[in-house]
Homo-oligomer: A and B are copies of this chain.
Amino acid sequence: MKIAMIGFGNVGRGFLELLAARRETLLTDEGFAPKVTAIVTRHGALMNTDGIDLTRPIELSQSPISEDVAANIVDAAIAGADVLVELTPTNVQTGGAGLAHCRAALNAGKHVVTANKGPLVVAYRELAALAKEKGVQFRFEGTVMGGTPSIALGLETLATAGVRSVRGIVNGTTNFILTQMEAGKTYAEALKQAQELGYAEADPTADVEGWDAAAKVVILANTLMGGDLRINDVHREGIAQITPDMIAEANVAGKRWKLIAEAKRDGMGVAASVRPTLVPLTDSLAFVGGGMNALTYETEAIGPVTLIGAGAGGKATGFAVLTDVLKVWRGIQA
């Protein structure tokens, strides 16, 4: 199997490290010996039809490539591969370059694995239908809860149980900030700490205003519950207005503020929201602290099932990409 990777940040590095570290196990246990034939970024690309040597450091040029040339490189990378691993930066309004890459690969009859929320949020139905038409797999475990298998649990393991709603904490940065505020910090202090630790970006809008959580809840609504939402369909409120007084009042009332994302059936459709919510201490979600994520799937057959795990990290999300690539391989073998 030949893999072309577009985008090469922390997740891409995590994925390639795992692939190198597990080379022998994958071959012995699964008969799986993938070659990475292309690594493409906006600054440079590595291509090798015999497979790039992953045991040596991957070094890419830092000179930007012109758009024309970049498009040709992308086309060539996809044409020479069996699977596209799409890891470019997320754009949840337009789908960004990632959406074009996914479309091109699926149209060319290539399997697609992505940890990029943009293509899913903007065009899940279209991409899933295209994959079905072309007889290829389209996988996206890394888009929600990082490496923790929230998609596999909802889409595979719990599918026959009938998922009626999902509700939980899907943004680690805001959860870290709220946890720090419970320990006595102000919002500004907690945000600064999150930025110093690398949890929050210099511009924290995507996290603190709930855009990241909204993108994830759109993905959950559309992939697990048959919804057809876009990001602007989500009722979205951030955490910037949470004050130390509100935290203290919640504490007295035996509750905690959490940024809760929820998708639930609403008549014929699915409704989704992201909002700061007072969670009682009787709810498991109240105790999910720091950078952890959690989702409660309300099912018809077996009631609520909660999954808790790390919600981010290049290595963990890279692992999600690896499991998806491995499922593509198993699917081809079957």
Residues of A within 8 A of B (CB): 18, 146-149, 152-153, 156-158, 160-161, 281-282, 284, 286-289, 301-310, 315-316, 319, 322-323, 326, 334
Contact = CB atoms under 8 A, between A and B. Distances in A.
A323 B319 CA distance: 27
Contact of A18 (B153, B301, B310, B319): B301
Nearest to A309: B305
Highest count of chain B CB atoms <10 Å: which of A161, A281, A289, A326: A161
Given A282-B289, A306-B307, A301 B147 contact: yes
Nearest to A288: B284
A149 B160 contact: no
Nearest to A315: B301
Please tell me how many copies of the chain the complex holds: 2
A316 B334 contact: no
A309 B304 contact: yes
Given A149-B305, A303-B309, A304-B310, 8 more contacts: A161-B323, A281-B287, A282-B289, A301-B315, A305-B307, A305-B309, A306-B306, A308-B308
A143 to B, nearest CB: 15
Contacts of A315: 301
Contacts of A153: 149, 153, 157
A301 B323 CA distance: 11
8 tightest A-B CB contacts, nearest first? A147-B302, A306-B308, A305-B309, A301-B319, A302-B316, A149-B157, A287-B287, A152-B157
A160 B305 CA distance: 22
